[in-house]
Amino acid sequence: MPLSDHEQRMLDQIESALYAEDPKFASSVRGGTLRAPSTRRRLQGAALFVLGLAMLVSGVAFKATWIGSLPVLSVIGFIVMFGGVVFAITGPRVAKVDRAPGAGGSAARQKRAKGGGGSFTSRMEDRFRRRFDD
């Protein structure tokens, strides 16, 4: 649910005050965003998953890989499988541009909007910002 005009102005004032008081903290809190994973990253994650699955099955099948009653190779295979899935569904982090609110960001926003690139949500956010910046 979008914020009202009054709430948006108050949020902008709080953000401006935070940047003025402690810009280093404000930029560290702002953080980055996750991009969508590329096809290459998804394939690499799938390959890790298959490798982990093979390790899991072979760890149970071959008793030589057991330490006591613990199938070590199977445990490692499960961890590799889990890591492959996480690798496949997450994209690399992208740092946000550090700038104070109202410091000339509308030109960059218009340039992005004209390019037509980006995800659906980023285009909707740009449209929302343009609507309330005017």
Q: Are residues 51 and 73 in the same domain?
A: yes
Give the helix/strand (H/E) hosting 74: helix 72-89
Cα 100 to Cα 42: distance, rounded to the nearest angstrom: 36
pLDDT the model gives residue 94 = 64
Do 21 and 42 lie in a common domain? no
pLDDT tens profile 42-100: 999 999 999 999 999 999 998 888 898 899 999 999 999 999 999 999 887 665 554 54
Q: Are residues 71 and 87 in the same domain?
A: yes
Provide the number of structural domains found in the chain.
3
Q: Are the beta carbons of 90 and 34 closer than 8 angstroms?
A: yes
- Label residues 16-47 b or e (16+ Cβ within 10 Å = b): eebbeeeeeebbeebeeeeeebeeebeeebee
